[in-house]
Amino acid sequence: MKESKISEYHLHKDLPEKRQFEIFSLKEYLEKNTPDTIRPHIHSFYQVLWFYKGNGAHFVDFKKYEVHPGTLFFIGKNQVHYFDEYSGYEGVMIHFNERFLMQNENDVNFFLKYSLFNDPYQQPFCKISAHAEKDLKVLMSQINSELDKAGDFGQLELLRSYLNAFLIFAQREKGNININKENKLYAADEKHLQLLRFIDLVESNYQNGLTISAYAALLNISSKTLTDLTNKIIFKTPSMVIQERIMIEAQRLLAHSGLNVNQIGYKLGFEDPSYFVKYFKKHAKFSPGEFRKSIS
C-alpha cells in the first residue's frame, strides 16, 4: 500500500538562501495549479488566503467553510485543505515560512501570540470590515512595491515589517472571536503566552508520548500550573489538548493517506496498534475502519 495519497508542498525548503516569503495573485495561482488546488493537500509553510471576489467554499480539516468577498483564511502548517471547483475567485495568496518572521527569541514569543495559525479552538477564517480592508490593501500595495526592489538596502527588513503589520491587523479582526467574553486566546499576557507555548509543544511532540509532567517541565512550570492554565482559558485539561491533536492527525491520515490502520497507529506513536484502535474508538465513538468508510 502506498505511503500517502496526499500531496505536501514546501516553500524553498532546500533553498534557505531564497526569500522565505511569496505573494501570488489568487486567480493566476488557481489557474496555473488546478487541479492540484482542488485536491486535499498540506504545506510545510503558513498560508493566508484573501478572497476579493467569488462565493464558494473552502475545506479545512474535514470542515466546509463558506467563502465570500472580504474573507481571510489562515492555513497553518500541516493542515489539510483544498479549494472548491469555482473558477472565478480573485484575491491574494501569501506564503511564508516562520523563519522569515522569527529572527530572535522576542520574535518567537510574538509569533506565538498570533492565534491566526496557532489556535486550534477557533475557526480558520474571518470576515474583515471595510475599514480593515482599506488598511490591509495599503499594506499589500507596500509589499508589492517593495518586492520590485530586489537588492535594495533593507528590503527584507521592510517586507518583514509589512508582513508583521498585515498579520497584526488581521489578528485584530479575528481577535473579535472569543473563546468566552473574559478569555481571549490572542491576549498578550504571560498566562496566554504559556498556553500558546504549550499548544506549540504539543504540535511538535504529540507523536512522542510525552507525559503532562514532561510538557510542564519544558515550560518550566508545574503540572498543576499547566492544568490550571488550560482549564481556566480553554476549559480543557492538558490531556484533552494532546488527545484532540492526536485525533485530528489520525483522521487526516485515515482520510487522506494510503496507510493501513496499524501503520497509522505506529506513526502516531502507539507501540500496540490494537491500543490505537481502542483509543480512536473511545474518542470518536467508532473504529478507524468505520471512520475511513464513512468519508470514502
Both 108 and 205 in one domain: the answer is no
> What is the rounded CA–CA span in Å between residue 52 and residue 70?
6
Q: Is the pTM of this model over 0.75?
A: yes
For residue 20, pLDDT over 90 is answered with yes
How buried is residue 181: exposed, middle or buried, by Cβ count under 10 Å (0-12/13-18/19+)? exposed
**182 falls within a domain:** no
**123 falls within a domain:** yes
> What is the rounded CA–CA span in Å between residue 261 and residue 268?
11
Both 216 and 97 in one domain: the answer is no
pLDDT digits (tens, 9 = 90+) for 46-83: 999 999 999 999 999 989 999 999 999 999 988 999 99
Question: Domain containing 226 — which CATH number?
Answer: 1.10.10.60
Both 21 and 158 in one domain: the answer is yes
**185 falls within a domain:** no
- Helix boundaries (H) for the chain: 26-33, 98-101, 105-113, 115-118, 130-147, 155-174, 190-205, 212-218, 223-234, 238-256, 261-267, 273-284, 288-294
Both 49 and 75 in one domain: the answer is yes
DSSP character for 84? Answer: -
For residue 213, pLDDT over 90 is answered with yes
> What sign has the CA pseudo-torsion 287, 200, 71, 23?
negative
Both 160 and 51 in one domain: the answer is yes
Question: Domain containing 82 — which CATH number?
Answer: 2.60.120.280
**229 falls within a domain:** yes
What's the half-sphere exposure (Cβ side, CA atoms, 13 Å) at 91?
A: 23
Q: Which residue among 144, 174, 204 closes a domain?
A: 174
> What sign has the CA pseudo-torsion 175, 177, 179, 180?
positive
pLDDT digits (tens, 9 = 90+) for 260-289: 999 999 999 999 999 999 999 999 999 999
Domain interval for residue 73: 7-174
Both 41 and 141 in one domain: the answer is yes
For residue 104, pLDDT over 70 is answered with yes
Both 45 and 133 in one domain: the answer is yes
pLDDT digits (tens, 9 = 90+) for 148-191: 998 899 999 999 999 999 999 998 888 764 444 444 545 567 88
Domain count, the chain: 2
